[in-house]
Amino acid sequence: MKIPVLRLKDILLTSIQVDLTDEDALEFQDDVLKAVERTEASGVLIDITSLDVVDSFLARVLNETAVMVRLLGAEAVISGMQPDVALTLVEMGRELIGVATAINLDHGMEKLQELISKRGGG
Partner 1 sequence: METKKVEIKGSGDIVTARQAGREMARELGFGSADQTRLATAISELTRNVTQYAGMGFCTIVDNSDKNTIKIKATVEDTGPGIPDIDRALEQGYTTGGGLGAGLPGTKRLVQEFDIDSVPGQTVVTIVLSRRKI
List contacts with partner 1 (CB under 8 A).
19-23, 52-57, 59-60, 82-85, 87-88, 91-93, 95-96
| Shortest CB 66 distance to partner 1, Å | 15
CA distance 86 to 109: 20
Closer to partner 1 by Cβ: residue 36 or 54: 54
Burial class (CB in 10 A: 0-12, 13-18, 19+), 4: exposed
CB nearer partner 1, residue 67 or residue 87: 87
Q: Among residues 91 and 122, whose Cβ is nearest to partner 1?
A: 91
**DSSP summary character for residue 10:** T
